[in-house]
């Protein structure tokens, strides 16, 4: 078999990376501080829907790659990188703004 088992754990940080974990922590903290059961329920539903979506994408990933081909994968990776950079810049700007206002 030509499958490298050492590469398998690399998928986990990509699906539940530091950004996703921090965002979840912040949303849970906001829901707790607002004492809102509706917000907690909405967060729970969002996490379930995201898991279902990820399961579908991973299940059909070979078919998706056959459809979008290598150039489509490159395009999606670049768009994801651009979004990640935009989110990082926004988070830095918010942090600087919060630091200055203190």
Q: What is the pLDDT of residue 2?
A: 63
Look at residue 72 in the predicted model and tell me its pLDDT. 93
User: What tens digit of pLDDT does each residue of 20-46 get?
Assistant: 888 888 888 888 888 888 999 999 999
- The residue whose two tokens read 């651009």 is 82
pTM over 0.75: no
- Kindly state the tokens that stand for 11: 């998928």
Return the SS3 of 34.
coil
Low-confidence ranges of the chain (pLDDT < 70): 1-14
Residue 23 has a pLDDT of 82
Question: Using CA atoms, how far apart are residues 36 and 39, in angstroms rounded to an integer?
Answer: 5
CB 33 within 8 A of CB 26: no
């Amino acid at each position: 078999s030509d499958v490298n088992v050492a590469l398998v754990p690399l998928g986990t940080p990509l699906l539940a990376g530091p950004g996703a974990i921090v965002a979840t922590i912040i949303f849970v903290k906001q829901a707790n501080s607002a004492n809102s059961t509706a917000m907690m329920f909405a967060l729970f539903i969002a996490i379930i829907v995201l898991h279902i979506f990820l399961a579908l994408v991973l299940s059909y990933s070979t078919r998706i790659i056959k459809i979008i081909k290598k150039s489509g994968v490159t395009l999606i990776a670049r768009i994801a990188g651009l979004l990640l950079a935009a989110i990082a810049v926004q988070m830095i700007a918010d942090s600087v703004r919060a630091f200055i206002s203190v």
